[in-house]
């Protein structure tokens, strides 16, 4: 995770690497996980691709987020994609971006708490 000061605010570059030993939410003893990223209480969210039938998925997807303010929080939530019905949450974690100063690089391994 990396934040950079831009002329028009801040930019957060974040790479979602992988999940390990995720919870099995489907009947077959597996899940179809994807990760959703949401800034503050924004209604818009970014999503990784869905990796089907895998409890140790590797997404390795990088996102560029524009930050209006640095004191927002980032919620990272992992879901099991379901063709029918609503997707099940496999766990989530919230990162406070306050303290990630400009031009500061931070490499974090975030554990996501499962329910
Ligand atoms: Ca599923």
CA 97-101-104 angle, 5° bins:
105
In angstroms, what is the span from residue 8 Cα to ligand 1's centroid? 40
Q: What is the pLDDT of residue 113?
A: 57
Residue found under tokens 């031009």:
103
In angstroms, what is the span from residue 74 Cα to ligand 1's centroid? 25
Domains, the chain, in order of start with CATH, read: 2-105 (2.60.40.150)
Q: What is the pLDDT of residue 4?
A: 61
Residue 29 DSSP one-character state: S
Here the tokens at position 45 are 């969210």
In angstroms, what is the span from residue 97 Cα to ligand 1's centroid? 31
CA-only gyration radius of the chain, Å: 15
- Please tell me the pTM assigned to this model: 0.80
Q: Is the pLDDT of residue 1 over 90?
A: no
What does the pLDDT look like over 45-103, one tens digit per residue?
A: 999 999 999 999 999 999 988 877 766 788 889 999 999 999 999 998 888 777 655 54
In angstroms, what is the span from residue 65 Cα to ligand 1's centroid? 28
Q: What is the pLDDT of residue 52?
A: 97
């Amino acid at each position: 995770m990396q934040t950079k000061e831009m002329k028009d605010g801040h930019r957060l570059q974040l790479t979602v690497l992988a999940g390990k030993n995720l919870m099995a939410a489907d009947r077959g003893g597996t899940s179809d996980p994807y990760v959703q990223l949401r800034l503050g209480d924004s209604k818009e969210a970014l999503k990784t691709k869905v990796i089907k039938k895998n409890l140790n998925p590797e997404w390795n997807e990088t996102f560029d987020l524009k930050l209006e303010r640095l004191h927002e929080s980032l919620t990272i939530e992992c879901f099991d994609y379901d063709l029918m019905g609503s997707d099940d949450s496999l766990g989530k974690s919230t990162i406070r971006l306050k303290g990630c100063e400009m031009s500061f690089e931070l490499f974090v391994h975030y554990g996501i708490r499962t329910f």
